[in-house]
Amino acid sequence: GEQSDAIVVAGGMGAAPLLYLLRTLRAAGKSVSFFYGARSASELVLRDQYCGLASVYGEATDDGSQGQHGRVTELISEEMLGKKPALYACGPEPMLRAVAQLAQEHHCRCFVSLEAHMACGVGACLGCVVPISSGEYARVCVDGPVFAAEEVFPQ
């Protein structure tokens, strides 16, 4: 099949900010695979927009009500064989960790968008800090929310 320049992985509500990314990658002439996971079919939103922008589109639900029954990461492995796409992911932390692990195994660049409770949104309250690989802490609201996967999920 066609080589994917990027693989975008969405989990549940994590799909919302990825629509702009998908449009931006497509506008730059990139071939993008989009994989969307959720607990059930009712949580898959904006499906037509994502499907229309992606060269490859796949869905997985925990309950099997839409797409593949199981984890969205199971759909990604096959798409990565013999390729070196960049991965972008937004969703629950266990999914982000799994995507980061896949990227590491395939020696691909990976960026994750983290969710955190942001009380102030300007970096003052430190309510949204995450530990990073340097031993320091990063503030999701001002230093992120997007991080290189290896920075927040060191292997």
Whether the CB-CB separation of 117 and 86 falls below 8 Å is answered with no
What string of DSSP letters covers 11-37?
EGGGGTTHHHHHHHHHHTT--EEEEEE
pLDDT in tens, 48-92: 999 999 999 999 999 999 999 999 999 988 788 778 899 999 999
Hey, CA dihedral for 103, 107, 113, 114, is it positive or negative? positive
Q: What is the pLDDT of residues 126-135, one digit of tens each?
A: 999 999 999 9
Q: What is the pLDDT of residue 92?
A: 92
Residue 102: helix, strand or coil by DSSP? helix
CB 153: neighbour CB atoms within 10 A?
22
Q: What is the pLDDT of residues 106-124, one digit of tens each?
A: 999 999 999 888 899 899 9
The pTM of the full predicted model, rounded to 2 decimals, is 0.91
